[in-house]
Amino acid sequence: MRKKYLLAGTAAVVVLAVAAFFACKVNAQKNVGVAARVNGEIISVDEIRRGYADNPQIAAQVPFNDFYEKAVDVYVNGKLLYQAASKANIEETPEYKEQLQTAKEDLARKVFLEKTVEEKVNAAAVQKFYDDEYVAKFESKKEMGAKHILLDNEKTAQEVIEKLNKGGNFDQLAKEYTKDNTVDLGYFTEDLMVPEFTKAAMALKKGEYTKKPVKTQFGYHIILLEDIRDSAPLPLAELEPQIKNILSQQVVAETLDSLHKDGKVEKFDLNGKKMPEPKEEK
């Protein structure tokens, strides 16, 4: 008989444990997508995720999971402050209404310009600017591809040149001697380097290095000319961000000009006297 009661008691414990497990599971499912509840108001995970996405600088440095834990506290504090402000009827005060109007105007201006720029700075406009203003007006120049070894004194530079004359490897000697972390300078036009460097590099043939140290304001260089070519236009993909920026500024300027022409604007000085209209440039 005792064994029977023991078994019954064990079964009851198991049932209670299973019920508790499923209750916890149901409660957990209720909270999926909820970051916090503040006096009954929900702050959603999606809300925090949108805030994370709207800040690409943060997103580039911190994974969302790391950002989330700290962000929850920030959002909770914000919600508590807003609730306190609402309770104090702050939204009915003149100060709030004045600042709200300013914020609304700022937001309206921002969205209006964003939409105007988005409509006009499209793929076709970018391509046209690239073709007409960049490619069509591009002037090809000689580009040199070079490496260098930079040293503090002429004596050491001459020693390195002697090692090169004996068959030494330029890259290996650069690792051993140069004080500049950038050995491979890539391609450059003559106007991008100091005159002494450019003059020495242009006097070389492809594959040659300077037989005497080249003195500049940075020290003593040993230059290896790896290639020389005619420069070509950069691909659109590389220039697209710059072109969009230029076009966006143009659209904003043109929009303001149009609004000024179509609108009636009167300006007054501090004494209330009407200011003269600016003279149009011929």
DSSP 77-146: HHHHHHHHHHHTTGGGSHHHHHHHHHHHHHHHHHHHHHHHHHHHS-HHHHHHHIIIIIITT----EEEEE
* 121 Cβ contact partners less than 8 Å away, ≥ 6 residues apart: 244, 247, 248, 251
For the cut 60, the answer to whether the pLDDT of residue 18 exceeds it is no
Report helix, strand or coil for 206: coil
277 pLDDT tier (thresholds 50, 70, 90):
confident
Average pLDDT, the chain: 89
Q: What is the mean pLDDT of residues 70-79?
A: 95
The least confident of 11-25, 116-130, 134-148 is 11-25
Question: Apex CA 12: angle with CA 10 and CA 17, to 5°?
Answer: 95
Q: What average pLDDT does this structure show over 43-71?
A: 93
Could you give the CA distance from residue 21 to residue 228 in angstroms, rounded to a whole number?
A: 74
Residues 12, 17, 23, CA angle at the centre, nearest 5°?
125
Lowest-pLDDT choice from 85-99, 111-125, 166-180, 259-273:
259-273
Residue 223 pairs in a beta bridge with: 148
Residue type, 133: E
pLDDT mean over 215-240 = 96
Which residue has better confidence, 113 or 13?
113
Q: Is the pLDDT of residue 31 over 50?
A: yes
Mean pLDDT of 25-33: 60
For residues 5 and 110, give the distance between their C-alpha atoms in angstroms, rounded to a whole number: 75
**Which region, left, alpha or beta, applies to residue 259 given φ > 0 means left and ψ of -120 to 50 means alpha?**
alpha
157-188 pLDDT, tens digit each = 999 999 999 999 999 999 999 999 999 999 99
